[in-house]
Each structure stands twice: as C-alpha cells, then as structure tokens.
Amino acid sequence: MATPALGQDPDFDADVIVVGGGNAAFTAAHAAAMRGRKVLLLEKAPRDQFGGNSYYTAGATRIAHDGLDDLSDLIESDPRHPVTTVPPYSEAEYAADIAKVTEGRNDEAMTKVLVTEAADGLRWLKSLGLKYRLMYERQAYAREDGSYLFWGGLHVGNVGGGEGLMQDHLVVAEKLGTEVRFGQDVCGLLVDGTGAVVGVEVRANDGTVTEVRAESVILAAGGFESNARWRQEYLGDGWQNAIVRGTPFNNGEMIQAALEVGAARGGDWGSCHSVQWDANHAENESNRELTNRLTRQSYPLGIIVNNRGERFLDEGADFRNLTYAKYGKVILQQPDSIAYQVFDATLRPKLRAEEYEMPGISEVVADSVEELAEKLGVDASALSKTVEEFNSSIDTTIPYDPNVLDGRSANVVPPKSNWAMPLATAPFYAYPVTCGITFTFGGLKGNIDGQVLNEAGETLPGLFVCGEMFGGLFSGNYPGGSGLAAGVVFGRRAGSLA
C-alpha cells in the first residue's frame, strides 16, 4: 500500500492511531508526533481514570548509568546529593539481572535493546517535559552518619510517581498536537484487501460500532490481568481470585483482536507480575487514591508466615527489586491465599512510611508473639516456634546492613539469606497480605521495532505493539522498574516507525 502524504489522505482520520493510555502509549504517540505524524490516541478509560497501569506505579524506571555524576543531567536537584552514593549500574548488569530473574527465558534481542536504550529514552522524555529524581524513600536507607547508599540497580523515578508521570505525558501530548480521546472502547482492527491493518473499530455505549482509520495502528492497551476468566485459563486455577492492583480496563480484548487478524502470541502466557498486597483494606482493588501504597515491600527486613504460622520463602534471597514481582504468586498458593509480614519494634521504624503508615492500613500490634498469633487467628504455639527457631539460627557474627547483600543469614528451612534480624523486642507487628496482580507477561509477538509478527515470523503491515502487550521480555519474574523502561524504549521505537 502506498504511503500517503502525512495527514493528507482523506480516507484516514489520522496517520497513526495509538490504542491505550499508559506510559508506553503516550511515549509512542510522542515519537510519532515528533516526526510530523498526525496522531490520534484512543484511551478506553474516561478522563478521570486514564493512565493505564502506569498511573498506579511509583514511577520507578530502571536504566543503566555510571553513577550519580552521570545522572546529574537527568534528575532533579536534591540537598541530599552531596552525601549520597549511587553505584554505577552497567548495561551488562542490567541484562544479567533480567536473565537471572527470568531464568534465561527472556528474549535476548529485546533485552539488548532495552538495556542500551532506556537511559537515552528517559533523557529524550525529559527534553519533552517529563521530570525525574532519585528515589530516596524506596531505594536507599539512611546510614548512621547521615549518608545514603542506593542499592539494587533501580535508582531513578518520576517526580510525582505514576500520577506525575501520566500528567506530564498528557501535557506533552497536548503540546505536540496529539489528539487524545477518552472513553474509547476499541474492540477490533480494520484490515484492507492486502492484509494491512488500516484502523480500528470503536464500540459505543449502545453497542454500535464505528470505524476510525489510519495508516498505522500501535497497540499499547496492556495485558489481560483484569480478565478473571483469562487469568484462570492461562495462569491457572486460583488466579481468578487475585486482586487487580491497577487499571480495571486491561481485559485482553485488543490482544484477542490482534490474534484474530493473524498476530502470533508472544511471551510467557502462564506467568505474571504479582506482589504482596494489603489483604484487608476496604478498597484494595484499582485504588487511584492510594495506588502503589497498598503494596507491602519491606518484607526483606522481617519474616513472612502463612496462616499456619510457618515461613515458606526466603525473604532475603536478593534485593527486593529482584524478588517482589514473583512473591505474589507464592502468597496466592498459601492456605486461604493469605500471609502475614512480621516485624518487631526494632525493625518497625525501618519500614517504608508511604506503605506502612498509609490511611486504613491492615496492621495488627501485640505485646508478645503469642498475643500477635491470637489476634491473627494463627496457632500461637506454631508461630512462637517459628520465631524462636528463626531467632536462634541467625549468624550474628556478620554485621547487618540493609543497603547491601550482607550475607547475615538465618540457617532455617527455608533459609533467610540476608538481613536476618531477631524478632525479639515488643511490640510486634503483623501485616496481612494477599496476591495483587500487576500485569501479565504474555501478549503479542513482535520484532525489536515493535512490528507485530504472525506465526510465520512475518510482519503484519500497519500493526505495532508496545508496553505490556508486547510479550518476550519477562517470564516468571522481572527486575523492578524494567516495565516502565520497556514502555519507553519500545514505545519510542514503534512511534518512530509507524
């Protein structure tokens, strides 16, 4: 099909249609608009619920860098910078972390593109108006001398978290002339006689369907995590009961639409990103006010027990960034799909304030382990035995340091490999957690430019994919912050070609 002059073909409503409203979608729209393309972004959510899963994040974005000096042109100034150490995080380390947490099931070509282009992608977005900072409250502990040491390879995030990220994206889109339409229930794809995708179908509230046409369509409408039937079918029985952390609009309908026009599946359809999530908060699903504050991510400091009072995982296996996205699944597999994070009075002040001091938090406090068990409805003798065995097995000859993999272990089953501290000082605290699903790892198959592929490995003309719909990078687990980074990298690539 001949390429029309930009914005001139009367048969087209736009040059590029972007389906979706999160970080990847807006990044793709910006890249296309910067090329002079007439861009139409169709967001399923109404204006007051836009932003996809990106809105619900803390804005953390993983990039390779050479340390604080290298980041100075990207991040906002902060009076703590002079007493802050940010270890370099190389592209090789980034790629190795992805390979490690996915157990080698990541797409190597996609990984290489991600780790080499993420930093440049953020700098490009900053030039358009997005704002970034060091994430002190999430990725560094203050040391006794008042200094800060960042850890885990994830150091940079958006000013204002996910909400700030998406508001900045919207301002940029308006500045670049992108037309953004909210409340657009895109339900299908249009294909011409040559097999090229030339637009989308949009369903109105009364069920009528209208056509919106363009030279290219970029799909950035998320995975299928809000579709309970698909979760059960593809992730397994029990997943229908997981709590949806983010947007309720990611139901997989556009994945299905792409499959129907010949797209191939990509990535791991049997796994997802899932975390420990407040089990008892009255509004713990798709909460736009509290967003990411319903996670409970200080678990490496304490222990986690199920409702039998037993530990069942290694809380200190690695930095939180490299374990948190797989532990929601482990919680789901426990009796009644619930567990309890347990800390004592010594550890409690070290917990993330934004998560453990939020309004309406599910918190249980007691003056003894036995009393804590009774309040939780857990067998008191079982929990007491667990805590006593844990406390007595800690290698206290090794100094405790939460900023590094300190090797301070507890020799129990399962072990705690790092950061083992005895739970010995009253009062004791417990936080009920369940499985909160973030996004699914299975989606569409594409090449590194985001062009959608069919089963034969051929491109589907006019169709692109980015964001959580683009399968291949993650399987079973992922390194924290790499999802937003992937949205930037592959959204930019798709928008630069569409």
| Structural domain for 279, as ranges | 273-435
Domain check: are 363 and 318 in the same one?
yes
Tens digit of pLDDT for each residue in 338-389?
999 999 999 999 999 999 999 999 999 999 999 999 999 999 999 999 999 9
In the predicted structure, residue 496 carries a pLDDT above the cut 90? yes
Three-class DSSP category at 409: coil
The CATH number covering residue 162 comes to 3.50.50.60
Question: 221, 246 in Cβ contact below 8 A?
Answer: no
62 phi, psi to nearest 5 deg: -85, 125
Q: Output the domain CATH number for residue 305.
A: 3.90.700.10
Q: How far apart are alpha carbons 306 and 432 in whole angstroms?
A: 9
Report the pLDDT value the prediction gives residue 11, as an integer from 0 to 100.
77
Residue 3 pLDDT level (bands cut at 50, 70, 90)? very low
Instruction: Name the E strands within 220-286.
Output: 243-244, 265-278
Query: Does residue 49 register a pLDDT over 80?
Result: yes
Q: Mark whether 460 and 401 lie in a shared domain.
A: no
Is the pLDDT at 179 greater than 70, yes or no?
yes
In a domain, 109, yes or no: yes
- Would 264 be classed as within a structural domain? no
Residues in CB range of 156: below 8 A, 6 or more apart: 60, 61, 62, 63, 65, 71, 74, 75, 122, 132, 133, 134, 135, 481
One domain for residues 26 and 69: yes
Query: pLDDT at residue 71 above 80?
Result: yes
What pTM value is reported for the model?
Answer: 0.95
pLDDT at residue 291, as a whole number: 96
CB 147 within 8 A of CB 83: yes
Number of separate domains in the chain? 2
199 in the same domain as 286: no
**Mean pLDDT, all residues of the chain:** 96
Q: Token match 């948190």: residue?
A: 324
Whether residue 446 is found in the same domain as residue 429? no
* pLDDT value of position 9: 63
- pLDDT over 50 (residue 150): yes
| Digit-coded pLDDT (tens) for 235-260 | 999 999 999 999 999 999 999 999 99
Residue 483 has pLDDT above 90, yes or no: yes
3-state secondary structure 430-490: EEEEEEEEEEEEEEECECCCCEEEECCCCEEEEEEECHHHECCCCECECCCCHHHHHHHHH
Confidence of residue 10 (pLDDT cuts 50, 70, 90): low
Say if residues 198 and 190 touch (Cβ distance below 8 Å). yes
Spatial distance between the Cα atoms of 43 and 46, rounded to a whole number of angstroms? 8
Verify that 298 and 404 share a domain, yes or no: yes
Q: Give the Cα separation of 140 and 68 in Å (integer).
A: 13
Last residue of a domain, one of 389, 412, 435: 435
> pLDDT for 289-345, tens place per residue?
999 999 999 999 999 999 999 999 999 999 999 999 999 999 999 999 999 999 999
In a domain, residue 380? The reply is: yes
Q: Is there a single domain that holds both residue 428 and residue 448?
A: no
Specify if 239 maps to a domain: no
The terminus-to-terminus CA distance of the chain in angstroms comes to 14
Give domain status of residue 198, yes or no.
yes
What pLDDT does 7 receive?
A: 45
Kindly report, residue by residue over 55-66, the tens digit of the pLDDT: 999 999 999 999
404 and 368: one domain?
Answer: yes
Whether 344 is in a domain gets the answer: yes
pLDDT tens, 206-241? 999 999 999 999 999 999 999 999 999 999 999 999
68 lies in some domain: yes
Q: Please indicate, yes or no, whether residues 41 and 155 belong to a single structural domain of this protein.
A: yes
Q: Which residues pair with 465 in a beta bridge?
A: 219
pLDDT > 90 fraction of the chain, expressed in percent and rounded: 97
Spatial distance between the Cα atoms of 401 and 151, rounded to a whole number of angstroms = 11
**303 shares its domain with 419:** yes
Do both 52 and 96 map to the same domain? yes
Residue 248 in domain: no
Which pLDDT belongs to residue 194? 95
Mean pLDDT of 453-476: 98
Do 19 and 109 share a domain, yes or no? yes
Report how far residue 434's alpha carbon sits from residue 242's, in angstroms, rounded to the nearest whole number.
Answer: 8
Structure tokens at 447: 């090449």
Q: Which of 389, 409, 435 is the last residue of a domain?
A: 435
Strand ordering across the sheet containing 140-142: 84-85, 148-150, 140-142
Domain boundary among 386, 401, 435: 435
**What's the whole-number mean pLDDT along residues 108-123?**
98
